[in-house]
Amino acid sequence: MNIYYVKDEQDIDKMAQDERCFIICNQEHFKVIKEQFNLFRAEEHRHGDQFDLIHFKRYVDHDVLSFSFFEWLNQGFQFEKVQLYISKQYVIFICNQNKALCESVMETIQTDQDTQPNGMPTLIFIYYKILDHILSNMFLSLEIFEKHMANIENGLLTKGTIHLFDDIVKVKNLSFEVKRHLRLLTYIGDDMVSDDNNLIAEANIKYFKNISTKMNRLYEFGTSLHTKSEHLMDTYNATVSGETNDFINKLTIVTVFATPITILSGIYGMNFVNMPELRFKYGYFILLALVIISGIGIFRYLKKSNML
C-alpha cells in the first residue's frame, strides 16, 4: 500500500492505477485524481461533489464522509470542511486550506503504524486514525475555548463589565456555531457504524463505535459550552445590574448629604424683606454649624445602618 500527499499535479503523475493507497489532497487535485483514475462510478457524478455539505453518503463500493473540522486560533474558531472517501482499495482525505491539519494527519498515520491492531486492514486502520486524530484535536480546541470562557467570567467577577460585552457576544455566537456543526457530526457517526457496504470487519467495528461515541461526547461538550455561554450572558446582565444598583446607591447617599444644604440654601435664598436672621451677626456661622451637624448626623446614621 502506498501513501501520497498531493501538493501539486506532479505528485498525481507519480500515482499508479489499481493500487491500494491512502491519499491526502485538496478539492482541486481530487477532481483531477478521480477523473484520471476513474475512481468512482457515474452514480456519484450525478450527485456532484457536495463538498460544502455535512453528510454521510453510501455508494455502491465506497462511503463518503463530509463534515466540519474546527480548531481554536487567534481567540476564535477556524472552521474547515473536510471529506473522507473510504473503500477497500483506497482512503482519500480532502482538505482545502488547513495544511497543518493535513501534515498532522500524515504524521499521525506514519507514527502510529506500529499500533495497528492485529487483523485490521491498513486502510481501515488509517480511516480510524484519521477520525480519531481529528476528533481529539477538536476536543482540545473545546477545552481551550472553555478556558477562554472561564477567563471572561473571572474578568466579570473581578474587573466588572468594562469592554467585555463584545467578547461575550462573540463567545455565544461561536458556541452556537460549534454546537450546530457537532450536532450534524453525530448523525455521521450513526451512519458510519451501520457499515452497509461491509467495509469494516465485525471484529473491528468496535473501534468505530468508539469513534461514534466520541462524536456524541463532542456534541455533549459543545452543548455544555453553549449553555455556559448563555450563563455567561446572564452573569454579565447580573453584573451590570449590580453595578447600576451600586451607582444608584452612591447617588442616593450623595443626595441624602446634599438635602439639608439644599433646604437651608433654599430658605435663605428667598427674597423676603423680613428675614431677621440675615441681619444677625453670627447667622452665617450658625448656618455652617447646622450644615456640619446635619452632615455628621447623617453619616453616623448611614454608618450604623451599614449603608456606608
Ranges of beta strands (E only) in the chain are 2-5, 21-25, 55-58, 63-73, 76-86, 90-95
Q: Quote the pLDDT of residue 160.
A: 67
Q: Find, among 45, 70, 65, the residue nearest to 55 by Cα.
A: 65
| Overall CATH class of domain 2-242 | mainly alpha
Q: Find, among 94, 74, 76, the residue nearest to 85 by Cα.
A: 94
Q: Quote the pLDDT of residue 131.
A: 94
> For 189-231, how does the pLDDT look when each residue is reduced to its tens digit (9 = 90+)?
888 888 788 888 888 999 999 999 999 999 999 999 999 998 8
- Mark 186-224 as b/e (b = at least 16 C-beta within 10 Å): eebbebbbebeeebbeeebeebbeebbebbeebbebbee
Q: Quote the pLDDT of residue 58.
A: 85
Which distant-in-sequence residues (6+ apart) come within 8 Å of 283 by Cβ?
277
Which grid coordinates are listed for 125? 486502520
Which grid coordinates are listed for 160? 466588572
Which distant-in-sequence residues (6+ apart) come within 8 Å of 153 by Cβ?
232, 235
> For 265-281, how does the pLDDT look when each residue is reduced to its tens digit (9 = 90+)?
888 778 777 777 777 77
pTM: 0.76
